[in-house]
Amino acid sequence: MEKRILGLDPGLAILGFGAISCQQSSDSRVSDQVTVLDYGVVQTPAGQEMGQRLITLYEDLHTLLKHWQPDLVSIEKLFFYRMGNTIAVAQARGVVMLVLAQYQVPFVEFTPAQIKQALTGHGNADKHEVQQAVTRELNLDHIPQPDDAADGLAVALTAWFQR
């Protein structure tokens, strides 16, 4: 049975996303299949008024959910590192939660350390190690760009691995 997972790396300026399709094999001798459906970013201009930036996120998330119709959404939990940035990211996460509630899509959340642990085996992996793991696990020819899109795929894969 196919399961679609949409991974989100929330941000106000850049929201990374990755959509994957997962097929769990009923035969233990056959590996599960995970394929990339799409990945990319939703960007909002820094000079744009805050409300307009949130509307852009809202509308683009609606488009993603309508198009991919995920069975589950996986979200990176908010990580506090710069107070000014934290508030903006929290506002973007609020938009994400609103859209998910409107579509009644279940979601799970993972900390950055949980994502790193799931993909590399240790919670203090650097960004490049995570990107290499995403590339390897999804049989891609190159590391997905931009970084935020690779992060979206990493979040989606974490949900699949933690099922």
Question: Is the model's pLDDT at 149 over the cut of 60?
Answer: yes
Q: How far is CA 160 from CA 7, 10, 102, 107, in A?
A: 10, 19, 23, 12
Low-confidence winner among 6-20, 24-38, 139-153 (lowest mean pLDDT): 24-38
The mean pLDDT value of the chain amounts to 92
Mean pLDDT for the stretch of residues 80-98: 82
Q: What is the pLDDT of residues 105-135, one digit of tens each?
A: 999 999 999 999 999 999 999 999 999 999 9
Identify whether 27 is a catalytic site residue: no
Q: Is the pLDDT score of 79 beyond 80?
A: no
Instruction: For residues 110 and 116, give the distance between their C-alpha atoms in angstroms, rounded to a whole number.
Output: 10
The one catalytic residue in 9, 32, 59, 60 is 9
Rounded Cα gap, residues 151 and 138, in angstroms: 13
Tokens 């710069």, located at residue: 82
Pairing of strands 107-110, 72-76: parallel
Q: Which residue of the set 38, 60, 147, 148 is catalytic?
A: 148
Where exactly are the structural domains of the chain? 2-161
Q: CATH topology for 2-161?
A: Nucleotidyltransferase; domain 5 (3.30.420)
Residue 98 burial (10 A CB sphere; 0-12, 13-18, 19+): middle
29 has pLDDT over 60: no
Distance CA 155, CA 27 (A): 26
pLDDT band (50, 70, 90) for residue 80: low
- Residue 137: active-site member: no
| pLDDT > 90 in the chain, percent | 83
- Residue 76 annotated in active site: yes
Catalytic residue among 49, 59, 76, 141: 76
Residue 45 has pLDDT above 80, yes or no: yes
Higher-confidence residue: 76 or 78?
76
- Given CA atoms 139, 144, 116, 8 in this order, what sign does their dihedral have? negative
3-state helix, strand, coil in the chain (%, to 5): 45, 25, 30
